[in-house]
Amino acid sequence: MLKYDSNYGPFNGTVSHADGSIIVNGKVIKVFAEKNAGDIPWGSLGIDVVVECTGFYTSAEKANAHIEAGAKKVLISAPAGDMKTIVYHVNDETLTSADNIISVASCTTNCLAPVAKALNDAFGINVGTMTTVHAYTGTQALVDGPRGKDFRASRAAAENIIPHTTGAAQSDWSCYS
């Protein structure tokens, strides 16, 4: 998938693999397939920051497995209620060197919050409404087919605009507090 991409075409470089690593243009990149993040040797690899994008480690307690494995900092790419949430240009000035595990909110919040902050700072916002058009995700069906009682989710994601709810409007605003 690195050498031959459906959208970008063939990679103009070298891609190979050896001994649990991917080698791109001569740079060796270790690959791990561990069920438990604590089993990844971040410390011995000299890893400073882990960007946690699996969706499985969205609490401070779970994400701490990365710290215990030797990482110094963990950024969680999803909303996580039990830790500081940082959104650049919204509340990044509250980040301190003592913050070892933080949430960087959701993609929707990172799009909406800076604009909402600018509008609120300039004019004030009493009530707001948002609409988001989101790319389809790996959890959606690519062909029409039954998906329980949710008939909208039964539609082919790549062929339809499917109305759906988002938690961003309700839950991701901890970056303002």
pLDDT for the residue numbered 165: 75
List 53, 107, 111, 175, catalytic entry:
107
Alpha-carbon distance of 92 to 7, in angstroms, equals 34
Looking at mean pLDDT, say which of 49-53, 105-109, 166-170, 172-176 comes out highest: 49-53
Question: CATH assignment of 33-128, given 3.90.1410.10, 3.40.50.620, 3.40.50.720, 2.30.110.10?
Answer: 3.40.50.720
Average pLDDT for 42-63: 95
How does pLDDT run across 142-169, given as a tens digit for each residue? Answer: 899 988 888 888 889 889 888 877 766 6
Alpha-carbon distance of 159 to 166, in angstroms, equals 20
Active site includes 107?
yes
What are the residue boundaries of the structural domains of the chain, listed by start? 1-31, 33-128, 133-163
> Contact, 29 vs 45, CB < 8 A?
no
How does pLDDT run across 97-133, given as a tens digit for each residue? Answer: 999 999 999 888 888 899 999 999 999 999 888 888 8
pLDDT above 90 for 173: no
Residue that the structure tokens 């970056």 belong to:
175
